[in-house]
Amino acid sequence: MHHIYSLAPSALVAQVKAADTATSTQQSAVDKDLMKVIEKVESLKLDDSIFKDSAFASLQDYTVILVPQTPGRPNPFAPLSGNQAPAVKTPAKKR
């Protein structure tokens, strides 16, 4: 079922129904839940009038193109070679 998401919703419903008869009771329950969700999504009606609205038409695209960069160090928390801080000595306790 790895390719199932590339199908049209109606084809997906048909495939899930066909697979439902060949699966276990537990899998059938999962498939039925999936079917309910798919049927709800198929019944959605979207109002596309927003795309014709002048406020939507006046929106500007502020997309920033990111330039690929070479990655930094594999471990950014590792000490820098040659730039290590001197070890701090703590005074010994006197008895």
User: Does 74 fall in a domain?
Assistant: no
Name the residue with tokens 């276990």: 24
Confidence of residue 2 (pLDDT cuts 50, 70, 90): very low
Nearest to 17 by CA among 33, 32, 38: 32
Q: Quick check: 37 pLDDT over 70?
A: yes
Q: What pTM was computed for the model?
A: 0.30
User: Does 69 fall in a domain?
Assistant: no
User: Does 22 fall in a domain?
Assistant: yes
Higher pLDDT, 16 or 68: 68
Confidence of residue 71 (pLDDT cuts 50, 70, 90): confident
User: Does 39 fall in a domain?
Assistant: yes
pLDDT, averaged across the chain = 78
Which residues have a Cβ under 8 Å from the Cβ of 1 and sit 6 or more positions away? Answer: 15, 19
CA-CA-CA-CA torsion sign (66, 72, 75, 78): negative
User: Does 60 fall in a domain?
Assistant: no
- Structural domain boundaries enclosing 29: 4-44
User: Does 73 fall in a domain?
Assistant: no
User: Does 13 fall in a domain?
Assistant: yes
Q: How many domains, the chain?
A: 1
User: Does 79 fall in a domain?
Assistant: no
Provide DSSP, the chain.
-TTGGGS-HHHHHHHHHHHHTTS-HHHHHHHHHHHHHHHHHHT----GGGGGSHHHHT------PPPP-----S-TTSPPTT-PPPPPPPPPPP-
